Amino acid sequence: MIHSNHIYPLLLLERKMSPDDQWSADGDESPLSRLSRKSRDSPFVPVGIAGFMTVVSYGLYKLKYRRDQKMSIHLIHTRVAAQGCAVGAVTLGVLYSMYKDYIRPRFFNVSKK
């Protein structure tokens, strides 16, 4: 039986970099620059974040005026609405990506980028 301390040096041997390889700057990227890069790659990410934050803000605002509704029910409704915004944005992003990659090139003779 091989113990984990015997496998670890083998993993180090496999991960050596050749002199021609370059390190990527992904680890040095700030959260704001990463968000802007992700927004350019898929424009529905900020839409989902904005929708999520809007629903949560509205839910917190309406927390004061919930009248006879229990706190747990109000929070569940807010959570479901916020998740619905996020899932809706992801769904729109997937549909847009499928249109861009498969439907538009096939029917409109547009080359892929």
Taking 60 as the threshold, does the pLDDT of residue 19 lie above it?
A: no
Please state, rounded to an integer, the average pLDDT across all residues of the chain.
78
| Mean pLDDT across 77-88 | 92
Query: Residue 27's pLDDT is what?
Result: 64
> What is the rounded CA–CA span in Å between residue 55 and residue 61?
10
Exposed, middle or buried: residue 42 (CB in 10 Å: 0-12, 13-18, 19+)? middle
Any idea where the domains of the chain sit in the sequence?
43-113
pLDDT in tens, 27-54: 678 888 888 888 887 788 888 889 999 9
- How many helices (H) and strands (E) the chain has is answered by 5, 0
Q: With a threshold of 0.75, does the pTM exceed it?
A: no
Are 75 and 82 in contact by the 8 Å Cβ rule? The answer is no
| Mean pLDDT across 1-10 | 51
Query: Residue 83's pLDDT is what?
Result: 92
